[in-house]
Structure 1
């Protein structure tokens, strides 16, 4: 059996700290915020969202829905962001680290704006929409690393 070695850039640990530390921690925070909104909203398990009628009768139900949707959106984007960071960081560790930090900061603003701004229809989330720019840049860096590998395999 032959051995396997894999060399990563010197500052790849920063990429790992964000991808496997800060992002999962933020996921836990999202879940905690959502769970904290459930009781005041009076939405029992296993229901995922409050009904329109509940939201009209109880502002806390609308806030719960916003927290739930912010968390769901985070979960929809988290796996691809982590994966892209792990690949992009192999060649661009500093840029990946900075974009990852920007993504996390934007996601915090997204959650805060969505849940706590009090703007109708969750419009406060737009203060954190910069995560799309960071995510797009991470995709581009990930492709820049992966494409030469794919071309070699063809």
Structure 2
């Protein structure tokens, strides 16, 4: 039988991984859903066509929101897992880096959708989420390696 002992301050890790990250996912869905209506893109279509974007600026904005949301979904689950696992050994660091990831992802969404830059290039203002995500992955690997070596 294996016993997992959680660090005293693991609550911050849970707060980021299972609180802040899912809340940001809901925000993405809310933004995208609202813009879908304004862009007049019916379900089940995922994106507005080029023609729709030429006729309606809201359609291009919807496409940017949809892509930001998709990119979030592509990265959120692994970031949640990295945060939870890294937090077993390094709770403050994992919660802090996870919190930075949420801030950068928020900037990514804002820049992509609301910056007014063509082709969603405003997303670059939050592009540092990749560094935070990489740091969480590295911290996870390092923590797991240290655990395995201690056996």
TM-score (norm 2): 0.95
Structure 2: gaps of 5 or more residues = none
CA distance in 1, matches of 2:39, 2:144: 45
- Counterpart secondary structure, 2:44: coil
Q: CA deviation at 1:146?
A: 1.8
CA distance in 2 between partners of 1:103 and 1:148 (Å): 24
Partner in structure 2 of residue 51 of structure 1: 49
Which residue of structure 2 aligns with residue 95 of structure 1? 93
From 16, 34, 57, the equivalent of 1:18 is 16
- Count of matched residue pairs: 151
Whole-Å separation in 2 of the counterparts to 1:67 and 1:113: 10
What does residue range 31-46 of structure 1 map to in structure 2 within 5 Å? Answer: 31-46=29-44
2-structure distance, mates of 1:17, 1:94: 12
Following superposition, the deviation at residue 90 of structure 1 comes to 0.6
> Could you list the runs of 4 or more consecutive aligned residues of structure 1 that deviate by over 3 angstroms after TM superposition?
148-153
Q: State the alpha-carbon separation in 1 of the partners of residues 22 and 62 from structure 2.
A: 21
Structure 1 runs not aligned, ≥5 long: none
